[in-house]
Amino acid sequence: MITRRVSEELTRMTNIYVGNLAQRVTEEEIREAFGRFGQVGKIRIVVDQETNRSLGYAFVEMANPSDAKAAIDAMSKPVAASYRWNCR
């Protein structure tokens, strides 16, 4: 029982909401950006079911909560004068 609980905790990922994405942003670009802060698991870019176009947000899973927090803090800062990703 204890082994199972430890195993579940080790496989639990921190899920990050990433908003304000350009429609052309790819999974590889998101993985590269967040990968600077730690191990990235699954990335899911949310798309419109009819048009298959990005809705401008995604979910990124990171293995380590402290890496996820560092990524959120860094990625939420403005990249240009009026552009930044919204990470929570």
pLDDT in tens, 31-68: 999 999 999 999 999 999 999 999 999 999 999 999 99
Answer whether 45's CB lies under 8 Å from 27's CB.
Answer: yes
Q: Which domain, by its residues, includes 34?
A: 13-87
CATH of the domain at 74: 3.30.70.330
- Give a yes or no: residue 4 inside a domain: no
- Give a yes or no: residue 5 inside a domain: no
Q: Quick one: pLDDT at residue 79?
A: 60
Stretch 21-37: mean pLDDT: 95
Total number of domains constituting the chain = 1
- Give a yes or no: residue 6 inside a domain: no
pLDDT band at 19 (very low <50, low <70, confident <90, very high): very high
Q: Write out the two tokens for 84.
A: 């930044």
Lowest mean pLDDT among 11-20, 21-30, 32-41, 50-59: 11-20
- Give a yes or no: residue 7 inside a domain: no
Taking the alpha carbons of 84, 23, 28, 58 in that order, is the dihedral positive or negative?
Answer: positive
- Give a yes or no: residue 18 inside a domain: yes
Contacts of residue 85, Cβ cutoff 8 Å, sequence gap at least 6: 18, 19, 20, 21, 75, 76, 79
- Give a yes or no: residue 76 inside a domain: yes
- Give a yes or no: residue 59 inside a domain: yes
Cα–Cα distance measured from residue 27 to residue 34, given in angstroms and rounded to the nearest whole number: 11
Decide: residue 18, CB within 10 A, 0-12 exposed, 13-18 middle, 19+ buried.
buried
- Give a yes or no: residue 32 inside a domain: yes
